[in-house]
Structure 1
Amino acid sequence: MKKNENYRNEIKSYIVRAGMTMSEVVDYLADEYGWSSSVPNLSGKLKRGSLRYGEAVELADALGYEIVWQKRREVK
């Protein structure tokens, strides 16, 4: 499985866990952040792996999450 597919599946699982549909997510993003209200547009970004970092932050917010950077432990 390609990285893009893994990322897409992970994001789709967060959408399901949030109890939302793709349409609901897209509507929220359009209202709050001025995204396109097109489900195929979001699906295409996920499929191509072309979601920008700022868009990922906004998408996480729409689902009730925030992206946190955490330093990895070094294994010796």
Structure 2
Amino acid sequence: MGIREEIKSYIVRSGMTMTEVVDRLYDDYEWSRSVPNLSGKLRRGTLRYAEAVELADVLDYDIVWVKRKR
């Protein structure tokens, strides 16, 4: 599964629509209110890490780094 599909699956699991997600991002972090803008970032793979953290926050997720066992 690619990053785009993974993030979209988190949006679906949260029970929110893309429009609702974009509205929350606008309200909480002053993102653009444009669904095509978010979709484009996911499609192009240009979502910055800080944006991913904010997106996870509005979806009520935490991004956790776990050291791999070797």
Cα RMSD (Å) of the superposition?
0.9
5+ residue gaps, structure 2: none
2:7 aligned with 1:11, yes or no?
yes
Query: Does the residue aligned with 2:2 lie in a helix, a strand or coil?
Result: helix
Pick from 15, 19, 24 the counterpart of residue 20 of structure 2: 24
Residue type at the aligned position of 2:66: Q
In the alignment of these two chains, the number of paired residues is 70
5+ residue gaps, structure 1: none
Using the TM superposition, give the Cα deviation of residue 19 of structure 1 relative to its aligned residue in structure 2, in angstroms: 0.1
- Deviating above 4 A after TM superposition, structure 1's stretches of 4 or more consecutive aligned residues are none
TM-score by length of 2: 0.97
Percentage of matched positions with identical amino acids:
71
Pick from 43, 50, 55 the counterpart of residue 54 of structure 1: 50
Pick from 61, 65, 68 the counterpart of residue 64 of structure 2: 68
Query: Does the residue aligned with 1:32 lie in a helix, a strand or coil?
Result: helix
Q: Which has the larger radius of gyration?
A: 1
